[in-house]
């Protein structure tokens, strides 16, 4: 698996990191199979410039290491052609086999405290990870590298794109979601849900989470149905 981490850093004109990353993913998907796109929450601190939530996103690409440079180039071109001036995006691309425990630790640190841009750049270079910042400051390299580390654990964030899941309009039966690529549907207290109807607020796409390598949709019972819940 190749992981493409993107942090758009956002400004008032930006479409947002999740949508921007799905846009990049659509370009990558023209040549490679995109498994999905995950969203990963980062630290919210006054020392960090972000618009609303401060998160990064990662494209999961089913390709071997020999395609790393090609995938990076596709993503880079799409970012250069579409990012908003005033935002400072970052891009990091790595094969799962080269993502060290140090990169994972960097990602975990970035969830809870302010981390350094230079540390991200140096760590990427030491880990065979292609990284680049754009705009004046390129601060997005922090979130981009953090996302790569977090996504590689298969135990962080949530999917904002997974197969045809975004096309499912609720309410729909549990089985329809299980057939879409979700492995398990469970309540917040751990009870497996095998039948019933699932819906989401404002009919938004549900966002399952990677949990120990499985794709899990969390739900809570509401009015004899199950409401989708985001893990983080």
Q: How confident is the model at residue 88 (pLDDT cuts 50, 70, 90)?
A: confident
Q: Determine the angle formed by the axes of helices 101-112 and 117-126, rounding to 10 degrees.
A: 160
pLDDT recorded at residue 138? 82
Q: What angle do CA 47, 121, 20 make, to 5 degrees?
A: 70
Q: Which of 32, 52, 33, 34 is nearest to 42 (CA)?
A: 52
Asked if the model's pLDDT at residue 14 lies above 70, the reply is: no
Q: Is 188 helix (H, G, I), strand (E, B) or coil?
A: coil
| Dist. CA 10–CA 85, nearest whole Å | 10
| Residues 136 and 164: beta-carbon distance below 8 Å | no
pLDDT for the residue 16 = 79
Give residue-wise pLDDT tens across range 53-76.
688 999 999 999 999 999 999 999
- Mean pLDDT value across residues 171-197: 95
Question: What integer pLDDT is reported at residue 17 of this predicted model?
Answer: 87
Half-sphere exposure (CA, 13 Å, Cβ side) for 139? 18
Q: What is the distance between the alpha carbons of residues 128 and 124, in angstroms, rounded to a whole number?
A: 6
Give the contacts of 189 (CB within 8 A, at least 6 positions apart).
Answer: none
Check if the beta carbon of residue 4 is closer than 8 Å to that of residue 91.
Answer: yes
The answer to whether residue 228 scores a pLDDT higher than 80 is yes
What's the pLDDT score for residue 10? 58
DSSP string over 133-186 = E-TTT-THHHHHHHHHHHHHTTSSSEEEEETTGGGPPSSEEHHHHHTTT--EEE
- Phi and psi of 99, rounded to 5°? -85, 110
Question: Model pTM?
Answer: 0.93
DSSP assignment letter at 213: T
Read off the pLDDT of residues 109-159 as tens digits, 9 standing for 90 and up.
999 998 989 999 999 998 899 999 998 778 899 999 999 999 999 999 999
- Ordered by where they begin, the domains of the chain are 2-159 (3.30.70.2200), 168-229 (no CATH)
């Amino acid at each position: 698996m190749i992981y493409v981490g993107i942090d758009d850093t956002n400004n008032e004109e930006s479409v947002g990191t999740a949508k921007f990353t799905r846009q990049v993913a659509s370009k990558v998907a023209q040549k490679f199979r995109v498994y999905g796109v995950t969203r990963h929450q980062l630290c919210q601190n006054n020392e960090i410039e972000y618009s609303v939530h401060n998160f990064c996103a990662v494209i999961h690409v089913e390709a071997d290491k020999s395609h790393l440079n090609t995938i990076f180039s596709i993503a880079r071109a799409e970012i250069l052609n579409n990012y908003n001036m005033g935002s400072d995006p970052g891009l990091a691309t790595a094969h799962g086999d080269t993502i060290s425990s140090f990169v994972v630790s960097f990602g975990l640190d970035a969830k809870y405290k302010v981390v350094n841009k230079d540390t991200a750049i140096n760590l990427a270079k030491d880990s065979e990870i292609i990284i680049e910042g754009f705009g004046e400051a390129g601060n997005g390299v922090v979130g981009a590298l953090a996302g790569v580390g977090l996504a590689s654990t298969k135990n962080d964030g949530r999917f904002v794109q997974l197969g045809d899941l975004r096309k499912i309009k609720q309410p729909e039966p549990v089985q329809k979601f299980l057939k879409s690529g979700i492995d398990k549907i469970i309540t917040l207290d751990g009870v497996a849900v095998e039948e019933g109807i699932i819906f989401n607020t404002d009919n938004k796409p549900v966002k399952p989470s990677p949990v120990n390598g499985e794709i899990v949709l969390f739900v809570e019972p509401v009015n004899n149905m199950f409401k989708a819940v985001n893990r983080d």
